[in-house]
Amino acid sequence: MPGYPIATRVANLTPLYAKAKPLLRSPWTFGRRRMGFPAALFVTVSSKTGEAAFETHRFPITATPSASSSNGQLEYHRLLPCPSTNGAPRIEHLVVLEGDCVSEYISKTLNLPPLYVADLIRFGAVYSALVCPKPPPTATPDQIRLYKQFTAPDLLKKRRSLRGTTIRKAQNTSRISSVDEYVEPGTYLRVHVHPKRFPRCYEIDWRSRIVAVTDSYVVLDKPAGISVGGTSDNIEECCTTFATRALRLTKPLITTHQIDNCSEGCVVLARTKDYCSVFHKKIRDGKVKKLYLALAAAPVPVGLMTHYMRPFRLAPKMISEDYVEGWSLCQLEVLDCKEVPWPSSILEEKHGIQDCGWPFKSFAYECTINLLTGRTHQIRAQLAACGAPIVGDSMYLAASLAEISNPGVNPFGKCKKQLFFSDEDGEWIAAENWIKQHGKEPSIAIGLQACQISWDDPDGDHHVYNARSPWWRS
């Protein structure tokens, strides 16, 4: 896929985003912005306390000549064709000063071409709320003044759109779905100017990945490196969209369950909202059986594996072998583990497998796993916790290496040292320090496949669907 201006690196942003990790970052601005990246208030929101701090930054832009205009600013045209790599993130937070069509307002405020803004809306990268969210306690006096200006009771009473609702509900965000939607003064907008892209969508023969088609659902053998149902800033480049087009369906397919972007294998996509609810109930009732093949870097003991996962939305996931109050139960059953050759460098390169520095590459271990609880990253985190991370898993393999080289560095691991936390702060700090040992999410694939999914219907019919051979057997 040819290069594209939007993929141009904003290199100087990267250290800033990395510095704030594991905090949630978002530049917060009011009113109109000028060209490029002007001075912005940078917000870091603590994942523990929910409080935030504001810092003022002016982001310099680094752009290649082909992606720059004569004044050195980034040029924006359209979101397609898709870039081969993802650029640095850019999220703009705006409060509408003048009522206007949303696409025109964003275009004028952020100096973006109208067609580019239209693409962002089609990708699901633009959100709105009737009322601006409340700034954190650490906001500057100017931030508080602006917030009070747009949320003054006298002003809010005059807004007909707020009648019959609470301010809290009016601060909830939802996707903008139409370029012609009108936004009134005081409306909050969040614009993901650089949505996460999935170039593999355009490389896949989607018709060949269809396992089964019925009146109620479609079973897809999901390729690695693609989201099942979209991300917060991209609902266009995902399995549901491209499978719908491949089958030439008139109504879009609906996600019933997820597997990680870097995993491959069977997913069930509903054709109707009614069947989506039916399948969700099957999953909740434990009537859907999911088998996985995992290519581990070390042998894994056969039998039941139990851990407890920290209830934290962001990855990487932290788990403990011991019960921790408030943490979620994670269980899987390893049915089989057999020694196989480590994939060749040619095979790894072909499938986008990252070399994560694992020192022992003579053999890998193919495990058949029955997933009993379906937590995010569960198999990846559990295998890594027992010293057998999944091949190519750059996020969890790095932490396993850290534990091998320094046993006990994981405060909740098998070789943990006896720790006495005087308060919740001490436990939280220990958890955050361990998370720092982890790497980044894999870019394309890892050695994990949802190889089989099955369930029974009330009428006695038994449904079993299998994925093709995993990439490491090819």
Q: Is 200 helix (H, G, I), strand (E, B) or coil?
A: helix
| 266: Cα separation from own chain's centroid | 19
Burial of residue 157, with CB atoms counted within 10 A of its CB: 0-12 exposed, 13-18 middle, 19 or more buried = exposed
**Number of CB atoms found within 10 A of residue 69's CB:** 11
> What is the distance in angstroms between the CA of the first residue and the CA of the last residue of the chain?
24
Nearest to 121 by CA among 109, 138, 103: 103
Is the CB of residue 256 less than 8 Å from the CB of residue 270? yes
Helices (H), 197-248: 239-246
Single out the catalytic residue among 100, 119, 260, 393. 260
Element holding 141 (H helix, E strand): helix 141-151
| Relative orientation angle of helices 114-122 and 102-110, to the nearest 10 degrees | 120
| CB 421, CB 383: distance < 8 Å | no
Task: Say how far apart CA 230 and CA 223 lie, in whole Å.
Answer: 14
Distance separating alpha carbons of residues 114 and 146, to the nearest angstrom: 28
Q: Is 128:189 a contact under the CB 8 Å cutoff?
A: yes
Q: CA neighbours within 13 Å on the CB side: how many for 284?
A: 7
- 260 among known catalytic residues: yes
Report, as residue numbers or ranges, the catalytic residues. 260
